[in-house]
Structure 1
Amino acid sequence: MRLLFLAVLRPHTGNAVTAQRIRDHLEAAGHVCLLKDALDYDSRLEVAELIRAAGAEAALALHAYRAGRLLRGHGIPFGIVFGGTDLNEDVNQGEKHRVMGKVLEEARFAVAFTESMRAAAGLQWPHAKGKIYVQTQGIATSPSTEFRWDTFLQRAEIAPRAGDVRVFLLVCGLRQVKDPLYLVDAFSEWHRQDPGVYLVIAGPEVDPVFTREVKAKVKSSAGVRLVREMPQEDLHAALRHCVALVNSSVSEGMSAAILEAMELEVPVLARNIPGNAAVVRHGATGLLFSDPQEFVQLAKRLVSDPTLGRDLGAGGRAYVGAHHGWRAERDTYQHLIRTLQAGASHQAC
């Protein structure tokens, strides 16, 4: 079957990585999957032409608003995958909420990453409760064998101090919902007391205006560095050298970066929000903080207690192995696409 798959494909973002992984699952089942960036299309009319030109028989959208709205009214069966921002942020805006409700009326199925996301969607759109499935993200990491830590430190303008550099890596696209500046002041104060600790923020420049704010703040903050996005394989390799992966988001659907760090046995320090708390069990698979001061306290514990870091890393890896296998994810999406295939065949008759 020929499938159109719409998603927001900013390079090196969680949405792009997730979309590419789902595409691989579908192509492994023999489908032809045309993956397109939803941001390249301004109207459903443009997408109608794309469907016609591609000969698409069915479609899939990652993100109920940004991608899903473009699939309405074309007469082909489609499903959606909630991205996180749609349920956590867009749902609070009246027109976007209305549009997503219409999308869910037409969609044959919807996928949520967690039970709490499914429950939230069911409360907002009760008519869609019966078509929402839960499938966690499937994780498989592949660290680069050619990555050089000393080159990374140079790129981050960090001078080695006889092996005494300890890096906390915050991976995120530079946009307000990721709140990369949340910890900066508290971390800078700690760095002035302990010059060997650094917070490195790594990710693409998603919001140009906010990126300028981040750059200005980082430039004036001791112990905090900003680096551009890097290939996923290099990012995974870099994580292995860090004390912990950091997540300071205001909201999350399901952070792929957190799960990847867990799979790599790297401790996770995450802001205590529902999306993070759904995968990070405090003291077992990672650590959760509620404010910058608590973050520093927990970070200091990790620095002073290597055994804690090893235990959290082992717990995180065991959790990902038990709940985020890529094979289960593949089976789910291949099954759901077969339901679209049945719908396409019915329409053809």
Structure 2
Amino acid sequence: MARIAIARPHGRQGGNLTTALRWERILTDLGHAVSLDEGWKPSNGPAPDLLIALHARRSGPAIEAFRAAHPDGALIVAATGTDLYQDLPAKEAHGRTSLAGFEAADRILVLQDLAPAALPEHLRHKARVVHQSVQGLPSEPGSPAQSASPLQVSILAELRRVKDPLLVLDALALIPEQVELNVTHAGVGDEPDLIERAQAASQRSPRYRWVGALPHEKALELLAHSHLTLNTSRSEGAAGAVVEALVLDVPILASNIAGNRGVLGETHPGLFGVGDAGALAAHLLRACDEEGYREELRLAGRARLPRVQPEREVAAWTELLREVLPTSPPKTAPD
């Protein structure tokens, strides 16, 4: 048994917290003593055998403190989309902090197949892909009847510019009013002007409704009863909602960014250009009109399903721990 500390950044976490809690459960099931805290510092208690730092930049102080106190301690740094696709390319203060965290790490954990390419070349040998899995799904997952009208579309995304969920409003403005579709958007409001726009659109448009933040189980129910779900992000590490849609067999339309392609595949038929309302509108119209297109999207998702099974995530963690804790190999997780 190893002592493992998971350090997550301070403040509201959203998907990061969901990820950290899932890792805590997996590592505990593998027989380890696991703690989950905001940050890490020597005063936390006895040094862990392994520190897993979630978010290279925002966990920078924890990484620095751990390396200073335990130069030979095992360290895994989990790269987020912000680290990979915003901070590192900027090469400014945030980028330097992320880079320092990755350089201090023994291994860099990433969540999808294209993420290693976003790292500087000299660090790519440290990267290990651990695909996310999903638990706690609705007891009867699945979409509504394929012939149902209007088309029920879901968006699970925070109201933040980087997530760009209100792109759907621009797309809806391009779709004739007689086309029957309903968009339900769930996600916490994070930026006042976007909140104002979402609220106004909910009052004005019969086809769009923002319901704010939902408990995770309610968000999954919304997703499960959708004919189609959207991910419109401008930058993303690997969206948990996309993985959840795969597991729930819900067709997906997604922005053509590395974080989505790494989960869905380079040739996924539902990819559209970042910020391209016209392309999104065309996909939505096609999904409304063509049951065959919805089935094409569904089949493309099913082809990626083996990557996001819980047993695969457990196996990836087992191998990763063997690499960084060679003297204390974890046991196989119980069935």
Match of 2:247 in 1: 263
In the alignment, is the contact (CA less than 8 A) between 2:272 and 2:280 conserved in 1?
yes
Q: Is the aligned partner of 1:108 residue 2:111?
A: no
Overall identity of the aligned pairs, in %: 25
Unpaired runs of at least 5, structure 1: 39-43, 150-162
Cα contact 1:243–1:302 (8 A) shared by 2:
no
1:187-336 matches, within 5 Å, as 187-190=172-175, 192-194=177-179, 196-205=180-189, 207-209=190-192, 211-219=194-202, 221-222=204-205, 223-281=207-265, 285-290=268-273, 291-321=276-306, 323-336=307-320
When normalised by structure 2's length, the TM-score is 0.82
Deviation at 1:87, TM superposition (A): 0.6
State which of 160, 178, 181 in structure 1 corresponds to 2:163. Answer: 178
Query: Within 2, Cα distance between the matches of 1:227 and 1:192?
Result: 22
Give the TM-score normalised by structure 1.
0.79
Deviation at 1:140, TM superposition (A): 4.5
User: Residues 245 and 261 of structure 1 are in contact (CA less than 8 Å); yes or no, is this contact kept in structure 2?
Assistant: yes
Aligned length, in residue pairs: 315
Instruction: Identify the residue that residue 136 of structure 1 maps to in structure 2.
Output: 131
Counterpart for residue 48 of structure 1: 42
Counterpart residue type for residue 192 of structure 2: V
**Structure 1 residue 104, shift from structure 2 partner:** 2.2
Do the aligned residues in 1 keep the contact of 2:87 with 2:95 (CA within 8 Å)? yes
Alignment-derived partner of residue 27 in structure 1: 28
* Match of residue 62 from structure 2: 70
Deviations 1:165-184 (A, max 9, x none): 42211111222210112221
Residue type of the alignment partner of 1:31: H
Query: C-alpha displacement at 1:185, in angstroms?
Result: 2.4
Q: Deviation at 1:312?
A: 2.1
The Cα of 1:204 is off from its aligned counterpart by 2.2
Deviations 1:124-152 (A, max 9, x none): xx2x2332222322344611569xx9xxx
Report deviation, 1:281.
4.6
Structure 2: any 5+ residue segments left out of the alignment?
330-335
Deviation per CA, 1:23-82: give whole Å up to 9, x if none.
Answer: 2221111111111234xxxxx7xx2322x2x65332101211112442222313211111
Asked whether the 8 Å contact 1:59–1:79 carries over to 2, the reply is yes
Measured after TM superposition, the shift of residue 191 of structure 1 is: 6.5
The AA in structure 1 aligned to 2:98 is M
2:20 is aligned with what amino acid?
A
Q: Within the alignment, does 1:61 sit opposite 2:53 as a pair? A: yes
Spell out the pairing of 1:150-169 with structure 2 (5 A cutoff). Answer: 164-169=149-154
The CA RMSD measured in Å over matched residues stands at: 3.0
After TM superposition, give the deviation of residue 217 of structure 1 in Å: 4.9
Q: Which amino acid aligns with 1:218?
A: A
CA distance in structure 1 between the partners assigned to 2:229 and 2:11 by the alignment:
21
Which structure has more helix as a fraction of its residues?
A: 1
Name the CA shift for 1:66/1:260 in 2 (closer, same or farther; >3 Å).
same
Query: Which residue number corresponds to residue 98 of structure 1?
Result: 96
1:193-229 deviation line (CA, Å, top 9, x unaligned): 43x3222221123x34355344455346522211123
